[in-house]
Amino acid sequence: MAHRLKSRFRQSDTLARIAGDEFALILDHVQTWSDADTAAQSVLEVLKTPFEIEDHVIRVTASIGISLFPDHGNEGGQLLQQADCAMFAAKRNGKNRIVHYGDGLGSAARERLTLEGELRRAIENGDIDVHYQPEFDLSTNTITRFEALARWTHPKLGRISPVSFIPVAEESGLIVPLGAYVMERACADATTWQRKANRPIQVAVNVSSVQFARDTFLEEVEEVLRRTGLKPSLLQLELTESATLTGLERAADLMRRLTGRGIGIAMDDFGTGYSCLSYLPKLAFDALKLDRSFVNELAVRPETRAFVQSILLMAHNLHMKVIVEGIETVEQLELMRSLGTDEAQGFLLGRPTPNPMEMLSGSGNAARPIREMEAVAGL
């Protein structure tokens, strides 16, 4: 990519790779928007020819954001930030396009920039909280683990959903400190549960592919376990399919190391990705978390039932458990149970809460399994 880009520009221009898939280009002969557009157009042009890597034909497109000096600032950081903002708008508008900072820039990009700044402040100030949602074993009706979910309450804007701030955190790299904070809190909290529950209760922590791609990921997890004193077997990491995009070999190796230490790994949002299933046997997943869209579809599309049954069969043959997400009704619960799902999570069974221990039946009383689901969900 760098070679191709270089071939199009002058010696006096500056080309830099600033992040995994982000390049910055400084052109000092540009006078007008149209000069900048010509240059940007030639970037799109040079990428039109597919790349050939190890017999694979790879097509890439670019999203380009442009800021102009001195119209958009006379300081490097500011110019870069505004170009970044325009690039984000280009991505939002369907990729493979050029967007100028300024006039046409949608409010989405501005909002995103504000959100990023606010999120950075929130992480520094400790305004991020962790709530926990229970997951139940469907053969015993007891809580097996709690999933840690980040919560952000902004002093002025109120609650902001992870669905909005997690993508911003991933794009900006803020997911690294945010994810580390959630992991630390979750593991520390989970150590206190063990004493209160009198039986092993796992904690599940969502791991972004950005975190998983870091070379230091394994050491960071080990460090947290050491500091908090949590047993590795009480931690389950939730990865999404995108985590494997850093390369199947690397992902497989890293996952083997993690599971080798006793740490559990579940695949989150299973069934929503696009890659082929053949990678699954190569990866050391303990469980698949079936995305909640399947639960919703079960009611309206009869074919979904066969599909879910096949996933269960496949998972069980690979010695993986199936956890279903998003159970909202008794009918959904009983259908998934009858199909042979191992574990379940959903608003019916318990919403995310800051005080998960209140959900455990008569703390320390392991002889009341059915009551636990009764007590929490009224079932």
By the rule CB under 6 A, 134 interacts with ligand C2E: no
| Binder among 118, 269, 343, 372 for Mg ion (CB under 5 A) | 269
| Binder among 107, 125, 161, 338 for ligand C2E (CB under 6 A) | 161
Q: Which residues pair with 64 in a beta bridge?
A: 98
Closest contact distance (angstroms) between CB of 325 and ligand C2E is 6
Token pair listed for 316: 């069980």
Q: Which residues pair with 266 in a beta bridge?
A: 238, 287
Q: Closest by alpha carbon to 113, among 150, 83, 93?
A: 83
Stretch that binds Mg ion, among 84-92, 128-136, 237-245, 347-355 (CB under 5 A): 237-245
By the rule CB under 5 A, 238 interacts with Mg ion: yes
Contact 342, 137 (CB under 8 A): yes
| Integer Cα distance of 297 and 294 in angstroms | 5
| Binder among 58, 163, 277, 306 for ligand C2E (CB under 6 A) | 163
Closest contact distance (angstroms) between CB of 200 and ligand C2E is 22
| DSSP conformation class of 341 | -
By the rule CB under 6 A, 162 interacts with ligand C2E: yes
Closer to Mg ion by CB, 90 or 149: give it: 149
Helices (H) and strands (E) in the chain, counts: 13, 15
Q: Which does 149 bind (CB under 5 to 8 A by kind): ligand C2E, Mg ion, none?
A: ligand C2E
By the rule CB under 5 A, 133 interacts with Mg ion: no
Cβ burial, residue 164 (10 Å; 0-12/13-18/19+): middle
Instruction: State the Cα angle at 320 between 316 and 325, rounded to 5°.
Output: 100
Binding mask 325-344 toward Mg ion (x if CB under 5 A, else -) reads x-------------------
| CA distances for 303 relative to 96, 307, 338, angstroms | 36, 7, 16
Give the DSSP H/E element, type plus range, for residue 298. helix 292-300
Q: Which does 67 bind (CB under 5 to 8 A by kind): ligand C2E, Mg ion, none?
A: none
| Binder among 346, 356, 360, 372 for ligand C2E (CB under 6 A) | 346
| CA distances for 22 relative to 6, 19, 85, 172, 178, angstroms | 14, 5, 13, 12, 22
Stretch that binds ligand C2E, among 94-102, 243-251, 304-312, 319-327 (CB under 6 A): 319-327
By the rule CB under 6 A, 65 interacts with ligand C2E: no
Closest contact distance (angstroms) between CB of 179 and ligand C2E is 5
Residues that bind ligand C2E (CB under 6 A): 133, 149-150, 161-163, 166, 179, 182, 206-208, 238, 268-269, 292, 325-328, 345-347, 352
Residues that bind Mg ion (CB under 5 A): 206, 238, 268-269, 325
